[in-house]
Amino acid sequence: MKQLFLVFLGGGLGSILRFIISKFFNNPENTIPYGTLGVNIIGSFLIGLFIGLAVKHSSVVNTNTLLFLSTGFCGGFTTFSAFSQENYVLLKAGDITSFLVYTAMTIFIGLLAVVSGFYVVKYI
């Protein structure tokens, strides 16, 4: 029950922060939803950092902390469903260029962010 509460609490905090960032950075005048892109990249970096810390410092980042931070917070903060819906809107509007740029940036920069998170932990 404690682990469910930690995931719930982390997810709620992550979702609130995602909402605030998306409201501020997702401008209808921009073709690419930079708020969603940003939270997905930041969340990718954070999950790499959190898991890297858990591997390197298991006494500091225990299972419950990792559940709160990665499954809860990062799970609530990042959003694949919004990414998918926004891509659908771009495709429906016929904006193939923005669709390709947004998709490529999210996937490749997101993967690079996870690796960067692990890399940072390696040297601290």
Q: Which two three-digit tokens encode residue 112? A: 């690079």
Q: Tens of pLDDT along 7-59?
A: 999 999 999 999 999 999 998 888 899 999 999 999 999 999 999 999 998 88
Q: What percent of the chain has pLDDT over 70?
A: 100
pTM for the full predicted model: 0.91
Closest CA to 95 of 51, 33, 7, 25: 33
Give per-residue burial for 86-110: e unless 16+ CB within 10 Å, then b.
bbeebeeeeeeebbeebeeebeeeb
pLDDT of 64-99, one tens digit each? 999 999 999 999 999 999 999 999 999 999 999 999
Burial of 84 (C-beta count, 10 Å sphere; 0-12/13-18/19+): exposed
pLDDT for res 58: 82
What are the tens digits of pLDDT across the range 47-57? 999 999 999 98
CA–CA separation, 55 vs 30, rounded Å?
39
Predicted local distance difference test score (pLDDT) of residue 59: 80
Which class for 52: exposed (0-12), middle (13-18), buried (19 or more C-beta within 10 A)? Answer: buried
